[in-house]
Structures are given as structure tokens and as C-alpha cells.
Amino acid sequence: MRKPAGTIPARRGYERWNVKAPLPSAPCPLPAPALCPPNVLKAAWNKFKNRRPGFRFHGMYTEHQKAQKAPWKRVAYIVGGVVVLVVGLIALPAPGPGMLIVALGAGMIARESEKLANMLDRFEVFLRRKWREIRPA
């Protein structure tokens, strides 16, 4: 039976059609971003960046909650976020990306905690306001 023109074949049939299977564009579900394909990280970053300041983390939270994950996955994600946050706090005094690691851990926990997501949104708005005050014109 012939497939009608313009239909997308099933994933396992991509070899037969001689085309590459598209990579997923959903946010990386893994706690270690190094394990995600670059286009997944880029799509997640662009989605986060294009939201209005003050609504970014809460939007990320609501999007993540729609996924209906198993309870053990939610706990694992929070524990992973806490571990990344603690590693970032330990790395703060040393030269390197300590603040980025702390921000990554806080962002991971904010995907599971609405209170933390709202706090991070308010903190982002506060930092932007202070930056405008001290930035030379």
C-alpha cells in the first residue's frame, strides 16, 4: 500500500525514506544539561528567554506540571536540583561558574515548586530594576 504524498512516516521507517528523524524540541528532562542534544537546550532556552520578565519561571513551572510526571520523577527532579544547588554553593568561592550552577539548581527546583518559581520571578524583576539604576546611561 502506497503512502499518500506529504505524510510523515513512522519513526522506525525513517531509514527506508532516507531522511533523518527530527530531534525532539521539548525541554531537556535530564538533570544534567550536558546529556541533552544542543537543539533541545536551545529550544528550551529560547522559550524561557522569550517570556516576559516576571513570568518566566512561573511559565516554566506550569508547562512542566502539564506533563503529568510520576511522583518519584518529581522527587528525583527536586533532589537533583538540590544537589546541583549545593554543588553550586560549594563552588561559589572558587573561580568559575559557581553562580551559574546555583541558578541552574534553583531553576530545576522551580520547575516543581510554584512558590520558588514566583520568588525567582520577583527576584528577576528586582535585579533588573537595580541594574537599570546603577547602569551608566
Contact between residue 98 and residue 92 where contact means Cβ atoms under 8 Å apart: yes
Would you mind telling me the total number of residues written for the chain in this entry?
A: 137
For the segment 25-75, what is each residue's pLDDT rounded down to a tens digit? 455 555 555 556 667 777 877 888 888 888 888 888 888 888 777 888 888
What is the rounded distance in angstroms from the CA atom of residue 21 to the CA atom of residue 83?
Answer: 34
The DSSP code for 93 is S
0.85 exceeded by pTM: no
Q: What digits encode the pLDDT tens for the residues 79-96?
A: 999 999 999 999 888 888
Assigned C-alpha cell, 104: 541552574
